A and B are shown apart, each in its own frame.
Chain A
């Protein structure tokens, strides 16, 4: 009888532990989803402002085309080409807005001050959102590598989380809002 009670107690404890771990993992997946949604929002915002600048005609035609093309490609990119497309947009932004004169040109255009503020916020927030997302991915992966999680398939059908890798170095002139205009 005592043996039976012991076995029952152990089974219950294991059950609680498994349920707790599954809950933990569930929460981590929710965190990744939230972080990914935030990252998508920031990337989209960045691409929109870039496209706006590209079509506004304040930059020279060559720069406008480069920026427009990169922004368009980033917005239309399929899931597996997204990292490359967004990195290319980063590079296009660095190339076209890398110098103070170009930034000044955007600033002088009508409502340019606001466009520039939006772009500055976006290029600052993309690396933030990406870091938070990849941090969540790393935490989830650490738990999913646990033997218990693998043997009992606690992760269910959730896909194995992948980090979002891209070049998100902002244009030097924009990334440093403290430089005199």
Chain B
């Protein structure tokens, strides 16, 4: 099958959507399909052979932050050229409602179009104002995919219609097979041992200085955890100001926190394989929670805030424990209980490993291909995705 994928965000900037598209493209290529990805990229950046540059993304203030977007005649012309050269059976647009390549391709293409909605932002005023412009473009999409039940609900509320839920994919075996690292594993002592480095380890991953990721909540809970499990260590992987992060912590407890900075994919997998407990205290703004899936893949027992998206990934608490969002006391109580109970942790790890199989690329990729096949099946045979004529003209032919 000839598949065209549209990435809305700059290829050289790391991000969840970009990684998802990279993994999807590589999965489809490995299954023998022809794949071309259209993505914004600076002219100099080295790109994988399957990526076509749509030109440089321009930083513009949008929706409260600076977004790097593609628009204008030049980008639109590149989209058209890509569509004409590609002769795709289906195109898959990511984030079609963002004012970037996604929307441009939606506008420019006709034929079987699949779209994935990643974010579940609350409805913005710009979106309401743009609705009449957005709608004619969005109604060309033959199949919508939402990454979680929560994302689907927001999509239905904002734009109407319906979508199928297909979660983001993870290479489960990459995490499951990673080698644990002794330095990140629990010390020789058990939960009762004292002294930093002798007890169990707790993992956290995410931007340190982004409160949304929840490190402050974990820092508030830490004294209570250390009071009960004095030997515990917290391993923090992620960018940000380390001084500021521990500022609220009593000085004598600071040695229990270890900052690892940015870690590579391999180290991330090894860290998740090593820790005794993975904590995700995110306070909001998550539409999926790929990090939880990665932690489950690595067999780490997971304790997460009870956001809608997290509860869904953790099968409503079956595959990992949940605590009341932003409640540091609840977090501390649950963490202490788990750290003291190896049997429960082993049970969570085992259940998580079984549950996480549905997020493996082999399953997710097959589902996405099923969507492609469903939309191309109904289309006229031999008709591929083409650059669209203005609607007025097609009406007369």
Binding site for B on A (CB under 8 A): 16, 19-20, 22-24, 26-28, 31, 33-39, 41-42, 121, 124-125, 127-129, 131-132, 134-136, 138-139, 142-143, 176-178
Cβ–Cβ contact B143 & A132, under 8 A: yes
B56 contacts the other chain (Cβ, under 8 Å)?
A: no
Nearest CB of chain A from residue B133's CB, rounded to whole Å: 13
Cα distance A22–B393 in the bound complex, in angstroms: 10
Which residue of A has the minimal Cβ distance to B110?
A27
What are 27 residue pairs bridging A and B, where the CB atoms are less than 8 Å apart in the complex?
A20-B391, A22-B392, A22-B395, A23-B390, A23-B394, A26-B394, A27-B394, A31-B139, A31-B140, A33-B378, A34-B379, A34-B380, A35-B142, A38-B375, A121-B370, A124-B370, A125-B370, A125-B374, A128-B143, A128-B374, A129-B378, A131-B162, A132-B144, A132-B164, A132-B375, A138-B160, A178-B357
Nearest CB of chain A from residue B337's CB, rounded to whole Å: 29
Cα distance A20–B137 in the bound complex, in angstroms: 13
B377 contacts the other chain (Cβ, under 8 Å)?
A: yes
Per-position binary interface string of chain B over residues 365-397, scored 1 when its CB falls under 8 Å from any chain A CB and 0 otherwise? 001001101110111100000000011111110
Given contacts A27-B110, A34-B378, 7 further A-B contacts (CB under 8 A): A24-B391, A38-B377, A121-B370, A131-B162, A135-B161, A138-B162, A139-B139
B78 contacts the other chain (Cβ, under 8 Å)?
A: no
Q: Chain A residues with Cβ under 8 A from B161's Cβ?
A: 135, 138-139
Cα distance A87–B367 in the bound complex, in angstroms: 23
Query: Would A136 and B142 be within 8 Å (CB), given that A34-B379, A36-B378 are in contact?
Result: yes
Cβ–Cβ contact A24 & B374, under 8 A: no
Cβ–Cβ contact B142 & A34, under 8 A: yes
Nearest CB of chain B from residue A117's CB, rounded to whole Å: 11
Nearest CB of chain B from residue A21's CB, rounded to whole Å: 8
Query: Would A19 and B395 be within 8 Å (CB), given that A129-B374, A139-B139, A178-B358 are in contact?
Result: yes
Q: Chain B residues with Cβ under 8 A from A177's Cβ?
A: 363
Cβ–Cβ contact B391 & A135, under 8 A: no
Q: Chain A residues with Cβ under 8 A from B363's Cβ?
A: 177-178
Nearest CB of chain A from residue B356's CB, rounded to whole Å: 9
Cβ–Cβ contact A41 & B394, under 8 A: no
Cα distance A144–B380 in the bound complex, in angstroms: 24
Nearest CB of chain A from residue B287's CB, rounded to whole Å: 19
Per-position binary interface string of chain B over residues 111-127, scored 1 when its CB falls under 8 Å from any chain A CB and 0 otherwise? 01000000000000000
Nearest CB of chain A from residue B309's CB, rounded to whole Å: 20
Cβ–Cβ contact B377 & A135, under 8 A: no
Cα distance A121–B366 in the bound complex, in angstroms: 10
Cα distance A33–B144 in the bound complex, in angstroms: 17
Most buried by B among A26, A38, A134, A138: A38
Q: Chain B residues with Cβ under 8 A from A143's Cβ?
A: 139
Per-position binary interface string of chain B over residues 132-170, scored 1 when its CB falls under 8 Å from any chain A CB and 0 otherwise? 000110011011100000000000000011111000000
Per-position binary interface string of chain B over residues 30-51, scored 1 when its CB falls under 8 Å from any chain A CB and 0 otherwise? 0000000000000000000000
Cα distance A100–B374 in the bound complex, in angstroms: 28
Cβ–Cβ contact B358 & A23, under 8 A: no
Nearest CB of chain B from residue A40's CB, rounded to whole Å: 9
Cα distance A91–B371 in the bound complex, in angstroms: 24
Cα distance A80–B51 in the bound complex, in angstroms: 48
Most buried by A among B143, B375, B378: B378
Cα distance A142–B139 in the bound complex, in angstroms: 10
Q: Chain A residues with Cβ under 8 A from B391's Cβ?
A: 19-20, 23-24, 26-27
Cβ–Cβ contact A35 & B371, under 8 A: no
Which residue of B has the minimal Cβ distance to A163?
B162
Nearest CB of chain B from residue A173's CB, rounded to whole Å: 15
Q: Chain A residues with Cβ under 8 A from B374's Cβ?
A: 38, 42, 125, 128-129, 132
Cα distance A22–B363 in the bound complex, in angstroms: 41
Q: Chain B residues with Cβ under 8 A from A129's Cβ?
A: 374, 378
Q: Chain A residues with Cβ under 8 A from B371's Cβ?
A: 128
